[in-house]
Amino acid sequence: MFFDIGGTELLVIVIVTILVVGPKDLPKLLRAVGQFVGKARRMAGEFQTQFNAALREAEREADLEDASKSIADLKSLNPVTNIKDEIKKSIEDAGNPAAAKPAPKAIESASDEPGPASAEPAPMPLVEAPDAEPQPEEPIKTGAAGKQTPSGEGP
């Protein structure tokens, strides 16, 4: 039963209540006790509902916090942001020559000859314009029919 009260103990409580309150006021007392128990149950139910709602809200906030951390982590992995940061750093370094990195050493010549490498690179060969016609190694002779043939070949 309620509060581990046995049958004999409950009988004693009922007899004492009837003697103290009287049989005339007993129905009013039982109605008041019933209303009090009903209010207590409703208050307990409301408290439990509010507690569960607060717990769900705390879980949502924790989930939102985790999601915002995940988004921040993803933003830090954004290659565009990293590229922008590197460009800004390069621009700042270009504007401040003292903070600029030293230039890499000149590439030494790959020849097997001993001796110091020249500080100036070898001149590049001249290249003809791309629309120029190629020059043959041997002079071209014209044959009897007016066709051009390389030297050494007959018509």
Whether residue 116 contacts residue 104, with contact meaning beta carbons closer than 8 Å, is answered with: no
**What pLDDT, on a 0 to 100 scale, did the predictor assign at position 81?**
72
3-state DSSP assignment of residue 99: helix
What pLDDT, in 10s, does the model give residues 59-81? Answer: 888 888 888 888 887 777 767 77
Distance CA 33, CA 21 (A): 13
What pLDDT, in 10s, does the model give residues 43-53? Answer: 999 999 999 99
The DSSP symbol for 146 reads S
Q: What percent of the chain has pLDDT over 70?
A: 59
Residue 140 has pLDDT above 80, yes or no: no
